[in-house]
């Protein structure tokens, strides 16, 4: 009952914020310093009123149902949510311009300024949708101390955050697998959020993973979207597809130590440190930690790991959230960084969560070459 009350409260807060942002859009579009309201104000009010509840309604349906109508509704609502974010920035910019020009004694055509900025916001949203569908291949060279000679020059593919659900599904996964197989990596690491968490046939969605093969195996660790609740249906589906799920486990890949810790056991410092103490990581041999989020890399470094591979951040997906994520995660928000003697690579992920847009970040598959 307490959890349900919290969920209802969270939904209410999100919906209230969406009401406010859409009200801002309405007031910005219809405001006129001269007192002449632009034509069509009533239809704008009706349209924005409907759009203000679309994403919450679509999300509630998406967590219960998986059919073409719900998927289409969710996709449209998610795209609008992303475009709305750019329009809100345009609206704020319009009011700033009005304030500055008014203080300077200038009178500019406010509605025309709004129309121009909203046009740029709409174009940014369209570009974001296109960019989110264009998956790049990022090649990274990682130099690890004490790397086994058998691993020098070998490669591993890293893919994270596919978020299979109502926006992306098995077809998307098949394209990602084909792209990985063309590179013929020696190992494949999937660092969580394979699923989005919405209603889905988990087994059917994971089935293409059966075609993903590598000489040293394919490994998966659970992300937060697999572990919102009971993660068994997701992990069982991944296992049934032939992928090795690492749930606080260590494997030896021809001398290279690989440890996988799921999100739930890595999100808090003390439990994460306790889990890592169970492993007998040989500090005289290279080791890799697979965990979904780069929350506490200093703990992994203290445990003696050479390299941590993560995802989760999406690099914020699009502005301004990409700036916020950089503030939260600092150098670990994206790319190759270092803490003490350990390197950290955080991927921006292959898919999207919520709005299927990317601006200021790119979807990617990462190919790591070890030296």
The continuous run of DSSP H or E covering 250 comes out as: strand 249-253
Judge if 304 and 230 occupy the same domain: yes
* Residue 42 pLDDT class (50, 70, 90 cuts): confident
Rounded mean pLDDT of 25-45?
81
Cα(11)–Cα(150) distance, integer angstroms: 52
Helices (H), the chain: 2-30, 41-62, 68-103, 110-132, 170-183, 202-206, 232-240, 269-277, 297-302, 321-329
- Domain-ending residue, one of 132, 151, 182: 132
Query: Which of these ranges, 25-39, 100-114, 205-219, 342-356, has the smallest mean pLDDT?
Result: 25-39
- Domain-ending residue, one of 86, 117, 132: 132
Positive or negative: CA dihedral 105, 97, 326, 22: positive
pLDDT in tens, 266-275: 999 999 999 9
Q: Which residue has the tokens 């090649």?
A: 139
Judge if 26 and 92 occupy the same domain: yes
Positive or negative: CA dihedral 258, 260, 266, 272: negative
pLDDT in tens, 299-313: 999 999 999 999 999
Contact 337, 314 (CB under 8 A): no
SS3 303: coil
* Residue 34 pLDDT class (50, 70, 90 cuts): low
Mean pLDDT of the chain: 95
Judge if 143 and 174 occupy the same domain: yes
Please give the share of the chain, as a percent, with pLDDT higher than 70: 97
Contact 157, 122 (CB under 8 A): no
Report the phi/psi class of residue 141: left, alpha or beta, with left for phi > 0 and alpha for psi in -120 to 50: beta
Please give the share of the chain, as a percent, with pLDDT higher than 90: 91
Judge if 167 and 236 occupy the same domain: yes
What is the DSSP annotation of 129-173?
HHHHT--EEEEEEE--TT--GGGTT-EEEEE----BTTTB-HHHH
pLDDT of 5: 82
Query: Which of these ranges, 2-16, 245-259, 334-348, has the smallest mean pLDDT?
Result: 2-16
Judge if 166 and 314 occupy the same domain: yes
Judge if 174 and 237 occupy the same domain: yes
Instruction: Print the domain residue range for 182.
Output: 137-370
* Residue 37 pLDDT class (50, 70, 90 cuts): low
- Domain-ending residue, one of 100, 132, 164: 132
Judge if 79 and 223 occupy the same domain: no
Neighbouring CB atoms inside 10 A of 248's CB total 15
Judge if 225 and 329 occupy the same domain: yes
> Which one-letter DSSP state was computed for residue 359?
B
Judge if 181 and 307 occupy the same domain: yes
* Residue 36 pLDDT class (50, 70, 90 cuts): low
**Has residue 358 got a pLDDT over 90?**
yes
CA angle (370 as vertex; 212, 179 as ends), nearest 5: 30
Closest CA to 84 of 36, 52, 38: 52
Contact 179, 369 (CB under 8 A): no
* Residue 61 pLDDT class (50, 70, 90 cuts): very high
**Has residue 80 got a pLDDT over 70?**
yes
pLDDT in tens, 154-178: 999 999 999 999 999 989 999 999 9
- CATH number assigned to the domain comprising residue 343: 3.60.21.10
Query: Which of these ranges, 18-22, 39-43, 94-98, has the smallest mean pLDDT?
Result: 39-43
> Which one-letter DSSP state was computed for residue 330?
G
pLDDT of 108: 87
Contact 351, 168 (CB under 8 A): yes
**Has residue 142 got a pLDDT over 80?**
yes
Rounded mean pLDDT of 340-366?
97
Q: How many domains is the chain partitioned into structurally? A: 2
Judge if 233 and 124 occupy the same domain: no
* Residue 168 φ then ψ, to 5°: -120, 145
Judge if 93 and 173 occupy the same domain: no
**Has residue 35 got a pLDDT over 80?**
no
**Has residue 1 got a pLDDT over 90?**
no
Which tokens go with 178?
Answer: 């084909």
Judge if 128 and 58 occupy the same domain: yes
Closest CA to 221 of 190, 196, 181, 259: 190
């Amino acid at each position: 009952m307490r959890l349900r009350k919290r969920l209802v409260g969270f939904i209410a807060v999100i919906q209230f914020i969406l009401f406010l942002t859409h009200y801002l859009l309405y007031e910005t579009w219809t405001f006129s310093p001269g007192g002449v309201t632009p034509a069509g104000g009533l239809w704008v009010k009706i349209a924005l009123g409907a759009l203000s509840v679309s994403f919450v309604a679509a999300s509630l349906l998406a967590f219960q149902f998986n059919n073409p109508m719900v998927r289409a509704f969710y996709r449209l609502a998610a795209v609008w949510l992303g475009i709305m974010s750019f329009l809100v920035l345009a609206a704020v910019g319009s009011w700033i311009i009005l304030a500055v020009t008014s203080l300077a004694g200038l009178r500019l055509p406010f509605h025309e300024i709004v129309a121009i900025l909203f046009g740029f916001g709409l174009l940014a949203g369209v570009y974001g949708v296109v960019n989110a569908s264009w998956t790049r291949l990022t090649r990274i060279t990682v130099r690890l101390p004490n790397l086994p000679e058998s691993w020098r020059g070998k490669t591993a593919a890293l893919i994270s955050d596919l978020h299979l659900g109502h926006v992306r599904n098995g077809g998307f996964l098949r394209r990602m697998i084909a792209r990985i197989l063309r590179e013929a990596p020696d190992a494949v690491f999937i660092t969580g959020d394979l699923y989005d968490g919405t209603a889905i046939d988990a087994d059917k969605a994971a089935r293409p993973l059966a075609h993903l093969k590598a000489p040293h195996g394919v490994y998966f660790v659970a992300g937060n979207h697999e572990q919102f609740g009971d993660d068994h249906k997701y992990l069982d589906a991944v296992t049934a597809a032939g992928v090795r799920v690492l749930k606080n486990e260590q494997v030896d890949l021809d001398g290279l130590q690989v440890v996988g810790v799921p999100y739930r056991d890595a999100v808090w410092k003390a439990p994460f440190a306790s889990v890592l103490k169970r492993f007998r990581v040989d500090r005289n041999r290279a080791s890799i930690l697979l965990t979904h989020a780069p929350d506490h890399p200093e703990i992994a470094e203290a445990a003696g790991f050479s390299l941590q591979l993560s995802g989760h951040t999406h690099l914020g997906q699009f502005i301004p959230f990409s700036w916020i994520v950089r503030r939260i995660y600092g150098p670990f928000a994206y790319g190759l960084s270092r803490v003490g003697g350990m390197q950290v690579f955080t991927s921006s992920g292959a898919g999207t969560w919520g709005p299927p847009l990317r601006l200021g970040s790119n979807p990617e598959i990462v190919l790591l070459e070890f030296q």
